[in-house]
C-alpha cells in the first residue's frame, strides 16, 4: 500500500480521554488532518480481557483505514498494552501507542532516581509501562500506582480546588518520599489534572505527559518516512466519530481537546 502524505492521521480511544493525545498532535503538527474515533459504546476497555480489547482495536483500526489514514495512533493506554502487536501485524500503515513514547521520555528526564507511573487500574495491572521502562533502563526503580478517581474528576471538570487536591494527596503523597524524580501521567485523562498533580508531588518531580511524548514520536516517524503534510493555505480538517452518545462526547470532549468540537458522527461498528 502506497502511503500518501496528504492522508489524515487516525486516532482511536475507548472514549474521550484520547482527545488529550489529539490535542498534542494538533499542537505539534498543525498542518495534519486527523480522524478520531471514540468507542464510547464499549468504554471502558480497562475492565475487559486483552483478547476482547484486541478485537475492538482491530475493528476500530479497520474503520479508520477506510478513511485513508497514513498512520494510526492508539491513544488508549489499555489498547496500547494489549493490542499493539496485533495492530502492527494487521495494518499496512505505521502504528504507534502511547506507552513506549511516554516511557522513553521518562528515561530521558530522570536524574537517576526512581520513575513513577500513575494510571488506571487496568493499565497499572498490565505492567506495560513498568516493562517498557525496565527494558529501556534495567536498573531503573519503578513505582506504579493506580489512581482511578482521577478519571471521573477529569470528566466532571473537577480539575482544581479542594476535592481533586485531597484525592491527589491520597494517591501521590508517597512518591517524593520514595525517591521518585520523574512521574509518568499514564492515562489520557490525567493531563487535565496536571496542575493539582504537580502541586502534590512538588517541584523536584518532573511530570511526563504521554500525550506530548506520543505527538513528538509521530512527528519524528512521519518526518523520517517523508509523510509530513505540506503546508496549506487553509486549516486542516478534523473529523470525529463515536459509537454512542455524540452529544456528551461533544460537550465533555471540548475540555479535553481545549477547543470546541463542531460535531461528532455516531457510527455502528458491528462485531
5 is in an annotated binding site: no
14 is in an annotated binding site: yes
| Three-state secondary structure call for residue 180 | strand
Q: Are 31 and 2 contacting, i.e. CB atoms less than 8 angstroms apart?
A: no
Indicate which residues carry an active-site annotation: 76, 187
Return the C-alpha cell found at 21. Answer: 493525545
Is 45 annotated as ligand-binding? Answer: yes
88 is in an annotated binding site: no
Q: Which residues pair with 238 in a beta bridge?
A: 34
**What are the grid coordinates assigned to 195, written together?**
496542575
**Nearest residue to 26 (alpha-carbon basis) of 35, 37, 17:** 35
**Residue 40 annotated in ligand binding:** no
**What CA–CA distance (Å, rounded) separates 12 from 77?**
11
Residue 78 marked as a ligand binder: yes
Largest pairwise CA distance in the chain: 53
Q: Following DSSP, what letter does each residue of 93-159 receive, concatenated?
A: S-EEESHHHHHHHHHHH--SSEEEEEE-HHHHHHTHHHHHHHHH-TT--EEEEE-TTHHHHHHHT--
List, as residue ranges, the binding site: 13-14, 45-46, 77-78, 188-189
Annotated binding site for substrate: 13-14, 45-46, 77-78, 188-189
Amino acid at each position: 500500500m502506497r502511503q500518501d502524505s496528504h492522508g489524515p492521521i487516525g486516532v482511536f480511544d475507548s472514549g474521550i480521554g484520547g482527545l488529550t493525545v489529539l490535542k498534542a498532535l494538533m499542537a505539534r503538527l498543525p498542518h495534519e488532518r486527523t480522524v478520531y474515533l471514540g468507542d464510547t459504546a464499549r468504554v471502558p476497555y480497562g475492565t475487559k480481557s486483552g483478547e476482547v480489547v484486541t478485537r475492538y482495536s482491530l475493528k476500530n483500526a479497520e474503520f479508520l483505514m477506510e478513511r485513508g489514514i497514513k498512520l494510526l495512533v492508539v491513544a488508549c493506554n489499555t489498547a496500547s498494552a494489549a493490542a499493539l502487536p496485533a495492530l502492527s501485524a494487521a495494518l499496512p500503515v505505521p502504528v504507534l501507542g502511547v506507552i513506549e513514547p511516554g516511557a522513553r521520555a521518562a528515561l530521558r528526564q530522570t536524574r537517576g532516581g526512581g520513575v513513577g507511573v500513575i494510571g488506571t487500574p487496568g493499565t497499572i495491572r498490565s505492567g506495560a509501562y513498568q516493562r517498557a521502562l525496565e527494558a529501556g533502563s534495567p536498573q531503573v526503580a519503578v513505582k506504579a500506582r493506580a489512581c482511578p478517581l482521577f478519571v471521573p474528576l477529569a470528566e466532571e471538570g473537577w480539575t482544581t480546588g479542594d476535592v481533586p487536591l485531597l484525592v491527589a494527596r491520597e494517591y501521590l503523597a508517597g512518591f517524593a518520599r520514595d525517591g521518585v524524580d520523574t512521574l509518568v501521567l499514564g492515562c489520557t485523562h490525567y493531563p487535565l489534572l496536571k496542575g493539582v498533580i504537580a502541586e502534590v508531588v512538588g517541584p523536584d518531580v518532573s511530570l511526563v505527559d504521554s500525550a506530548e511524548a506520543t505527538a513528538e514520536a509521530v512527528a519524528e516517524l512521519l518526518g523520517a518516512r517523508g509523510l509530513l503534510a505540506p503546508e496549506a493555505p487553509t486549516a486542516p480538517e478534523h473529523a470525529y466519530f463515536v459509537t454512542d452518545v455524540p452529544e456528551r462526547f461533544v460537550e465533555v470532549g471540548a475540555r479535553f481537546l481545549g477547543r470546541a468540537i463542531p460535531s461528532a458522527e455516531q457510527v455502528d461498528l458491528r462485531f
